[in-house]
């Protein structure tokens, strides 16, 4: 059974750096085809994709946030860490991590969607 759980500070001050950890079980980020993505959702607003890390260490970032985001993985701890610098009030929201897997049929790989999500962790940016 795959599970993911986000953890980190509930309150950060403006200009500070946010560090969030996604601790997972039921899969390995060394397995071919596995990804973990990060998302956020401001209060009352739509979901926003932030970043993605692949089993092969490839990383992708939202272009609007690329200068502020870093995602890393610790496969020995089954964790993915997201850091976001220079936090501001507009960064307030709930942050989620989610599992995605590429199925390979022998010739092509297909993404199977973000099938398992963490419960989310709320972050408020305020002085």
Partner 1 sequence: DIVMTQSPLSLPVTPGEPASISCRSSRSLLHSNGHNYVDWYLQKPGQSPQLLIYLGSNRASGVPDRFSGSGSGSDFTLKISRVETEDAGLYYCMQGLQTPHTFGGGTKVEI
Residues lying near partner 1 in the complex (CB under 8 A) are found at 37, 46-49, 52, 60-64, 96, 98, 108, 110-115, 117-120
Nearest to 116 by CA among 7, 50, 21, 24: 24
CA distance linking residue 56 with residue 29, whole number of Å: 8
User: Smallest distance, Å, CB 34 to partner 1?
Assistant: 15
User: Smallest distance, Å, CB 22 to partner 1?
Assistant: 12
Cβ contact 36:100 at 8 Å: yes
Identity of the residue, 7 or 15, whose beta carbon is nearer to partner 1 in the bound complex: 7
Identity of the residue, 14 or 115, whose beta carbon is nearer to partner 1 in the bound complex: 115
User: Smallest distance, Å, CB 13 to partner 1?
Assistant: 27
User: Smallest distance, Å, CB 1 to partner 1?
Assistant: 12
Cβ contact 89:14 at 8 Å: yes
Identity of the residue, 16 or 54, whose beta carbon is nearer to partner 1 in the bound complex: 54
User: Cα torsion at 89, 120, 63, 30 (round to 10°)?
Assistant: 150
């Amino acid at each position: 059974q795959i599970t993911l759980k986000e953890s980190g500070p509930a309150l950060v001050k403006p200009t500070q750096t946010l560090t969030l950890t996604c601790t997972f079980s039921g899969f390995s980020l060394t397995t071919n085809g596995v990804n973990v993505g990060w998302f956020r959702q401001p209060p009352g607003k739509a979901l926003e994709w932030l970043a993605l890390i692949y089993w092969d260490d490839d990383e992708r970032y939202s272009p609007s946030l690329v200068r502020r985001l870093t995602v890393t993985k610790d496969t020995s701890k089954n964790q993915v860490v997201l850091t976001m610098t220079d936090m501001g009030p507009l960064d307030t929201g709930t942050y989620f991590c989610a599992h995605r897997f590429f199925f390979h049929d022998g010739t092509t790989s297909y993404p199977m969607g973000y099938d398992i999500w963490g419960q989310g962790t709320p972050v408020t940016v305020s002085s």
